[in-house]
Amino acid sequence: MTTAIRLGTRRSALAMSQSSMVARALEEKAGRPVELVEIVSEGDVSRASLSQLGGTGVFATRLREALLAGECDLLVHSLKDLPTAGAPGLLVAATPVRADARDVVLTRDGTPLAELPVGARVGTGSPRRIAQVRRANPGVQVHDLRGNVDSRMQRVRDGELDAIVLAAAGLSRLGSDIDLAMEFQDLGGWPTAAGQGALAVETRLDIDDDLLRAIRALDDPATRFAVTVERAVLAGVEAGCHAPVGIHADFAGDELRVSAVVYGEPGVEITAESAEVVAQEYIHAQGGGDGADAARRVVPRRASEIGTEVAGQLLDRGASDIVTPSTTT
């Protein structure tokens, strides 16, 4: 009998959906069944805001403990929730093709965020999104938002809130019927969290070679390069993943374009941008053998260098006066 691969996951509907997607893809690559192992994290049981819980890593810590203890063979994370520092004994072996990285504002009647009346109630628990909402419409009231996607949307349906801000990728992966009006935010003016829309497939360093090869076959080099840049920016300004920092990197042909914003008090923003051709450096990470292994060492290093350069621009322009250093990134 073929032994099943155990994939650890949070039990939320979104986490289960994401993990199921990876499980089906891994079954094809590994030729073995994959079963989901539900793991409860502190972030799943506490109703406190993310900032009160500590933000960075609140969903990842318990899952990583389970992986190291041998309760499962791999994990699937929303990359934006993963601390930028690696965990001892573990590695992110794959970042599948990224989904839509944009944020979406949901309302009952389709009124754009910028046109909501003074006093309108907008729900979000993210310091970055709070800053972006107030930038778009200084007259609204921002309310903390926790819970699953359906319960968040219900607060708009019930009239408790006039709008909420969610990640487009989460809505897409859930496949829910959306009966609210959606206003997608342009990434140029509304950059999102580092790694938003991307998944991270994490396993142990001592995992068997066959399983590691199967997991690595799920990796998308362009996604990995872009999110490595974004996370290097976040690490470079010493900010946690829930800090008021918006970052987005993507490819236009062979050119990687990066934009980053650190949000301070209303009207205070620090921006940085970068653009360079890197196609030949990231594409060779595909395949197997010594060449691919060497590329896997080179690619993250170059991506990290680009991110560090962008972070340096932000710091030179005063980002450290805005961002509170994180001790858990």
Q: Do 215 and 291 fall into the same domain?
A: yes
Q: What are phi and psi of 46, to 5 degrees?
A: -90, 145
pLDDT tens track for 131-166: 999 999 999 999 999 888 989 999 999 999 999 999
Pairing of strands 5-9, 74-78: parallel
pLDDT tens track for 157-190: 999 999 999 999 999 998 767 899 999 999 999 9
Q: What is the CATH number of the domain that holds 43?
A: 3.40.190.10
Q: Do 258 and 271 fall into the same domain?
A: yes
Range 292-319 average pLDDT? 82
pLDDT at 266 over 90: no
Per the domain annotation, does 74 fall within a domain?
yes
- Angle subtended by helix axes 209-216 and 13-30, to nearest 10: 110
Domain finish residue from 136, 161, 184: 184
More confident site: 55 or 132: 132
pLDDT at 304 over 90: yes
Domain finish residue from 150, 184, 218: 184
Q: Do 73 and 139 fall into the same domain?
A: no
Q: 129, 136, 194: which is closest to 164 by C-alpha?
A: 129
The model's confidence at residue 278, banded by pLDDT at 50, 70 and 90, is confident
Range 264-269 average pLDDT? 88
Q: Do 55 and 200 fall into the same domain?
A: yes
Per the domain annotation, does 143 fall within a domain?
yes
pLDDT at 94 over 80: yes
Range 303-318 average pLDDT? 94
Q: Do 13 and 73 fall into the same domain?
A: yes
pLDDT at 288 over 60: no
How would you class 47 by CB atoms within 10 Å of its CB: exposed for 0-12, middle for 13-18, buried for 19 or more?
Answer: exposed
Q: Do 87 and 129 fall into the same domain?
A: no
d(CA 182, CA 40): 31
Give the percent of the chain with pLDDT over 90: 69
* pLDDT value of position 298: 60
Residue type, 173: R
DSSP sequence for 136-200: H-TTSEEE---S-HHHHHHHHHTTS-SEEEEEHHHHHHHT----SEEEEPPTTTS---TTTT-EE
pLDDT at 242 over 80: no
Q: Do 140 and 246 fall into the same domain?
A: no
pLDDT at 46 over 60: no
Other CB atoms within 10 Å distance of the CB of residue 133: 24
* pLDDT value of position 290: 45
pLDDT at 1 over 80: no
- Angle subtended by helix axes 221-236 and 289-316, to nearest 10: 30
Range 247-254 average pLDDT? 91
* pLDDT value of position 174: 87
Residues 6+ away with beta carbon under 8 Å from 187: 101, 102, 248, 250, 259
d(CA 248, CA 218): 22
Range 209-221 average pLDDT? 95
More confident site: 271 or 43: 271
* pLDDT value of position 253: 85
Q: What residue has token string 């990687």?
A: 256
Averaged pLDDT of the chain: 88
Specify the DSSP element, H or E, that contains 107: strand 103-107
* pLDDT value of position 160: 97
* pLDDT value of position 283: 54
* pLDDT value of position 42: 59
Q: Which structural domain, as residue segments, surrounds residue 140? A: 103-184
Q: How many domains does the chain have?
A: 2
Per the domain annotation, does 225 fall within a domain?
yes
* pLDDT value of position 25: 97
More confident site: 323 or 58: 323
d(CA 196, CA 246): 10
d(CA 232, CA 235): 5
Q: Do 119 and 94 fall into the same domain?
A: no
Per the domain annotation, does 328 fall within a domain?
no
Q: Please write down the long-range contacts of 140-147, taking CB distance under 8 Å and 24 or more positions apart.
A: 140/113, 140/116, 144/49, 146/47, 146/48, 146/49, 146/50
pLDDT at 285 over 60: no
Range 81-93 average pLDDT? 92
For Cα atoms 204, 210, 214, give the angle at the middle one, nearest 5 degrees.
85
pLDDT at 309 over 50: yes
More confident site: 176 or 207: 207
Per the domain annotation, does 112 fall within a domain?
yes
Per the domain annotation, does 326 fall within a domain?
no
Domain finish residue from 165, 184, 203: 184
Per the domain annotation, does 288 fall within a domain?
yes
Q: Do 246 and 282 fall into the same domain?
A: yes
Q: Do 139 and 279 fall into the same domain?
A: no
More confident site: 222 or 284: 222
Q: Do 152 and 257 fall into the same domain?
A: no
pLDDT at 293 over 80: no
Per the domain annotation, does 235 fall within a domain?
yes
Q: Do 216 and 293 fall into the same domain?
A: yes
